[in-house]
Amino acid sequence: MKQTLRTSFLLALLLGLVVSAKAALDLDFTLVNKTGYDIKEVYVGPTTSDDWGDNVLKDILKDGQGLELKFHPKATAEKWDIKVVYTDGETAWWKGYKLTEITKINLFWSKADGSTATSE
C-alpha cells in the first residue's frame, strides 16, 4: 500500500512538472502595430542572441493591424527582443520581453519617447 501511494505520488508529481514545463513555454503572442507607420519586416529573437533570424512578416503590417506570432515548440529562451523595419527603411526595436507572461504587445513610436510598448 505504501509503495503504491509513493508511486502514485511520484507519478502525479512528474505529470505536474511536465504540464508546468509545457505551459511555461507558451511563447505565442499577438503583435499590434500602433506606431503610426507601416511595417514591412518583423524579427523576433532571443535577448541572449545577436541573430534575429528570418523576417516573420509576409505582408505589410499597417498601422492599427495585429499579427499572431506562433513559436516552434522547441523555442526555450526566457526573454525575447523585437525588431521592425518600416516601409521607409527605418528600424526600431524593443528588448527583453518575457513572452511566457504576455499574450499581446502593442508597439508605439513617438518623436519624444522613441520606441515604446505596452504588454498584456
**pLDDT, tens digit, 9 for 90 and up, residues 33-73:** 999 999 999 999 999 998 998 999 999 999 999 999 998 88
Q: Which amino acid is at 115?
A: S
Q: What are phi and psi of 109, to 5 degrees?
A: -145, 135
Residue length of the chain:
120
Between 112 and 80, residue with greater pLDDT: 80
- The whole-angstrom separation of Cα 30 and Cα 64 is 12
pLDDT score at 74: 84
**pLDDT, tens digit, 9 for 90 and up, residues 83-110:** 999 999 999 999 999 999 999 999 998 8
Flag whether pLDDT at 10 surpasses 90. no
pLDDT score at 13: 40
Say which CATH superfamily domain 26-119 falls into.
Domain of unknown function DUF5300 (2.60.40.2890)
What is the pairing mode between strands 39-46 and 80-86?
Answer: antiparallel
- The three-point CA angle 13-3-17 to 5° equals 5
pLDDT score at 18: 43
pLDDT band for position 14 (cuts 50, 70, 90): very low
pLDDT score at 103: 94
Between 96 and 15, residue with greater pLDDT: 96
Whether the CB-CB separation of 4 and 78 falls below 8 Å is answered with no
Task: For 48-62, give one letter per residue: b (16+ CB within 10 A) or e.
Answer: eeeebeeeebeeebe
pLDDT score at 6: 41
The pTM of the whole model exceeds 0.85: no
